Amino acid sequence: MKPTFAPTALSYEILAALYQHRSATTSQLHQMLCPTKDISYLRRQIRMLGEHALIETVTLRMPRTAHLSYLTAAGLAIAARMPEVSDRTSPLQNLSDVAARVLLPHSQAVLTTHLAFLADARRRGDDYFPLDWAPETMHRLSDRQADAVRADALMRYTVNRPDGRAHLRAFVEVDRATYGSEKLVAKLTAYARFWRLRPGQNGSRRPTIESTQAAPAWTEYYPMYPRLLFVFTGSSRTTRERRIEDLQAAAAGNRRVSEMLKEVKAGATLLEHISPTKARPGIGPSDPVWQSLAAPDQPACGWMDL
């Protein structure tokens, strides 16, 4: 006989987190939602949600037979009505065992990046929470279906400083070197187009790039244009460093990009430079490990100091 469903605050958070982040291992959910609690409590909540067919859990061989959880159709339907995530869409609906495994390398890299910012914010005492990272954020640049800015994530972060609070936003790209540098540079160019984009004039709904009569289209969504943060992983160190150099070259050689970067902060780093480990538990994104895209000769700095 199926036990009576007795939802807890943590089970609610698990459903919301899996809706927002698509999938996560038990260890990642522990780091994200309840790092100070014993992980056995989290495992019990996951089992309960599985017994009521709200989540599916599959076993991965790497890392170390980890258990990956994602929402079922029933779990997705419930989570979509939660006010914390109701403004988000979940494009990976009815995620299957096969899909979870195929998409795993990239989704895990993106989530690992989020966890690095989350651990750093907790150490610093800043306001940044599990749902302040919105994966797969998109803005259209024209009526063409494929013409859009697609960030791996939009981060909303609030810094607590002695002189007050600062609300920061960033588009985050997590690059695993699975395609050529030309496509990587094209992403930077797309962000420059979005920065220049103005809504159409004379009642036209079709956007234009060169119009100067209206406020930029991005001001409808953000008080300031978000920072651009590129995080590299999944290939040799030499390859990753060369891809950073390619972005810096594009920043210097592309007129639209260079104009944008006079006002928009942009930087790049390697994932291992911001992810805490047992050997280096105190490292994080606020450390001076980011290379400026606009000023390659500038010393490395924290992402907030770009």
pLDDT tens-digit series, residues 131-157: 999 999 999 888 776 788 999 999 999
With a cut of 80, say whether residue 100 has pLDDT above it: no
Name residue 3's amino acid: P
Mean pLDDT throughout 280-293? Answer: 93
| Mean pLDDT of the region 169-176 | 96
Entry pTM: 0.90
What is the model's pLDDT at position 3?
Answer: 66
pLDDT at 90: 47
Q: How is the beta sheet containing 67-71 ordered, strand by strand?
A: 23-25, 67-71, 55-59
Check if the beta carbon of residue 291 is closer than 8 Å to that of residue 267: yes
- Cα–Cα nearest to 83, from 169, 15, 24: 15
The amino acid that residue 158 corresponds to is T
Select the more confidently predicted residue: 300 or 278: 300
Q: Say if residue 208's pLDDT is above 70.
A: no
> Which band of pLDDT confidence, cut at 50, 70 and 90, is reported for residue 4?
confident
Query: How high is the pLDDT of residue 35?
Result: 95
Least confident of 39-43, 206-210, 242-246: 206-210
Of 32, 26, 28, 62, nearest in space to 44 by CA: 26
pLDDT interval class at 198 (50, 70, 90): confident
> pLDDT at position 213, please?
65
User: Does the pLDDT at position 111 exceed 50?
Assistant: yes
Nearest to 21 by CA among 66, 64, 55, 63: 55
